[in-house]
Amino acid sequence: MTPHADAEAGQGYLDAAWFLPAIEGPGGFLCLAGWYSLPGPPHRPLSGELAFAGRRARFPCDLPRVDVSGADARFALHSGFDAVLALPGVPEAPLPLRLWDGERERGTLTVAARHPLREAELLRGRLPARRQRKLDNLILAERERLSHRIRINSLPVTGQIDPAFGCNLRCPMCKSQMIREQGYMLPNLDPARLARILDRYGETLIRIWLSLWGEPLLNRRLPEIVRMCKDYDIWAMISSNLSVPLSDAAIGALLESGIDTVMASVDGASQAVYEQYRRGGSLDLALHNLNRLAEARARRGLRRPHLYWRYLVFPWNAHEVEAARRLAAEAGADEFGVEPGVLLPRMQFPLDPPGTAAPARLPPEQAAEWRALARGQAARHRYFGCDYLYSSISVNSDGLAHPCCYVVAPSHALGDATEPAAALRNAPAAEAARAALAAFAADAPGPISAAAPCDGCDVLSACGGHVTTQTGFRQLFDHLVNETPIYW
């Protein structure tokens, strides 16, 4: 697939075109991602249109593409598209994707769809057996997600397992800090417990964050935990405040564990600004540890871990972003990323033991909000639903598994991660949530029910059910097939 360029028509690129068959019935889903822009300014909104089997689907090209506008200021920031088109058949031949400026056609991109299911069959016997199992499960999980299956057969492909629930900082808008202040604490993850969890999920997990609600470096057995994940060919990451005293031996053990990514959560370029959120932390210590990791990695001649500085932007620290970017380069970070911080209100969490909440009719205002979101996504030919309910598992340091990494209360656990995987994946609350979202996606009439904790979730409204830290199908597929790195 090559760029299409013309001074009048504009320029664009098709980053991806995948076709996956539906779980039931003919046809399936054509997933397109890319960008297209007329040279400007001013920049006018464009739309893409694809025709297949007598049907036409048009979607906007208005998603932010910093890489496009940053590389060439003539092209629009909001020029991206990410569409899921339900097709009645299989696209065997290349199709024209026409780009429109209102009712005027301004260019064409050629869509030659890849067929991951077929590619996986061609690779059978050429990939290591474990990697083939991961690939087969990944494709099944994505097909079940796109098909809005309620009861699923796939196992998680990504997830979070918490090495330590405790934390050395007191970040004021952190959910786990709020629940710790209620007196709720958990022990560090025992490698023996992790072994039982990996016995259930290690053969299908592709990427794992060894971070969830606490500071992972507080578990001194973290290097051992990382090695256990690497033994299952899992890309292993941690997110750390790095404001923890570390000996040279601890730095060396972490690097030698095979850890793939270390994300440093540092939100300031001066101590006074940094500690407004990272309360109890030391900016100098975090910078020192980041620099020690970079230098020790270089001495050992290692390519990993990838060192990523994650800067959460709040009203009080936005003015220090560029200064922090310079500090990151000086400290040896490989990448510097800026994300919006979330200003959460103070909350009280139920501390009851795990239980199963019965599905109940959604309140009218919640149902109206989700229905409007689903219709909006359908009009844009974008998927409506929650990735976590199909792709992921989130496990606290005591083994309790939650629907996603936004859920912390023990009463909202689906069960224990050492229980049979099928029962946990299809726990009543998870099935009820999938059924509710499938109903909204189909614009089904009448009242719709869901169960706690998903019935009050705000992730759908915040980001359409897909967050940047939830690694998507394309990156995972390419990692398994081509050994490409995973940075999220």
- pLDDT tens for 337-388 read 999 888 888 888 888 877 766 788 888 888 999 999 999 999 999 999 999 9
Helices (H), 319-427: 321-331, 364-379, 388-391, 421-425
Residue 189 within a domain:
no
DSSP 108-127: EEEE--B-HHHHHHHHTTTS
- pLDDT tens for 88-139 read 999 999 999 999 999 999 999 999 999 999 999 999 999 999 999 999 999 9
For 140, half-sphere exposure in the C-beta direction (CA atoms, 13 angstrom radius) is 14
Kindly report the CATH number assigned to the domain that includes residue 8: 2.60.40
User: pLDDT tier at 157 (50, 70, 90 boundaries)?
Assistant: very high
Pairing mode of beta strands 360-361, 335-340: unpaired
Residue from 442, 430, 350, 336 nearest 392 by CA: 430
By the 8 A CB rule, do 393 and 154 touch?
no
Give the CA distances from residue 16 to residues 82, 291, 473, 486, in Å, rounded to whole numbers and listed in that order: 9, 36, 11, 17
pLDDT of residue 216: 98
For range 155-163, the mean pLDDT: 96
CA dist 187 and 164 (Å) reads 7
104 Cβ neighbours under 8 A, 6+ residues apart: none
Residue 95 within a domain:
yes
Q: Please say if the pLDDT value at position 456 is more than 70.
A: yes
Residue 244 within a domain:
no
- What does the angle CA 437 – CA 438 – CA 440 come to, to the nearest 5 degrees? 65
10 Å CB burial of residue 48 (0-12, 13-18, 19+) is buried
Q: Please say if the pLDDT value at position 398 is more than 80.
A: yes
Give the CA distances from residue 444 to residues 112, 147, 291, 367, 417, in Å, rounded to whole numbers and listed in that order: 33, 15, 55, 12, 33
User: pLDDT tier at 9 (50, 70, 90 boundaries)?
Assistant: low
Give the CA distances from residue 155 to residues 30, 145, 371, 465, in Å, rounded to whole numbers and listed in that order: 23, 12, 28, 19
CA dist 393 and 62 (Å) reads 32
Radius of gyration of the chain (CA): 23
What's the number of domains the chain is made of?
Answer: 1
CA dist 483 and 462 (Å) reads 32
| Single-letter residue type at 449 | S
CA dist 182 and 409 (Å) reads 11
pLDDT of residue 467: 65
- pLDDT tens for 420-434 read 999 999 999 999 999
- The pLDDT mean for the chain works out to 93
pLDDT of residue 469: 61
For range 39-63, the mean pLDDT: 93
And the tokens for 368?
Answer: 């109206």
pLDDT of residue 116: 98
CA dist 141 and 81 (Å) reads 23
Residue 314 within a domain:
no
pLDDT of residue 258: 97
User: pLDDT tier at 197 (50, 70, 90 boundaries)?
Assistant: very high
pLDDT of residue 2: 42
CA dist 477 and 236 (Å) reads 16
CA dist 442 and 147 (Å) reads 11
User: pLDDT tier at 193 (50, 70, 90 boundaries)?
Assistant: very high
For range 445-453, the mean pLDDT: 86
Q: In what order do the strands lie in the sheet with 207-209?
A: 335-340, 306-313, 261-265, 235-240, 207-209, 158-161, 392-395, 400-402, 415-416
Residue 203 within a domain:
no
Full domain range(s) for residue 41: 4-114
Widest pairwise Cα distance in the chain: 66
CA dist 246 and 282 (Å) reads 13
User: pLDDT tier at 7 (50, 70, 90 boundaries)?
Assistant: very low
User: pLDDT tier at 1 (50, 70, 90 boundaries)?
Assistant: very low
10 Å CB burial of residue 455 (0-12, 13-18, 19+) is buried
- pLDDT tens for 301-347 read 999 999 999 999 999 999 999 999 999 999 999 999 999 888 888 88
264 Cβ neighbours under 8 A, 6+ residues apart: 240, 241, 242, 286, 290, 307, 308, 309, 310, 333
Residue from 83, 84, 82, 76 nearest 101 by CA: 76
Residue 24 within a domain:
yes
For range 38-60, the mean pLDDT: 93
Residue 212 within a domain:
no
User: pLDDT tier at 262 (50, 70, 90 boundaries)?
Assistant: very high
By the 8 A CB rule, do 156 and 394 touch?
no
Q: Please say if the pLDDT value at position 5 is more than 50.
A: no
Residue 461 within a domain:
no
CA quadruple 290, 295, 297, 298: dihedral sign: positive
Count CB atoms within 10 A of the CB of residue 305.
23
- pLDDT tens for 226-237 read 999 999 999 999
User: pLDDT tier at 440 (50, 70, 90 boundaries)?
Assistant: very high
By the 8 A CB rule, do 146 and 84 touch?
yes
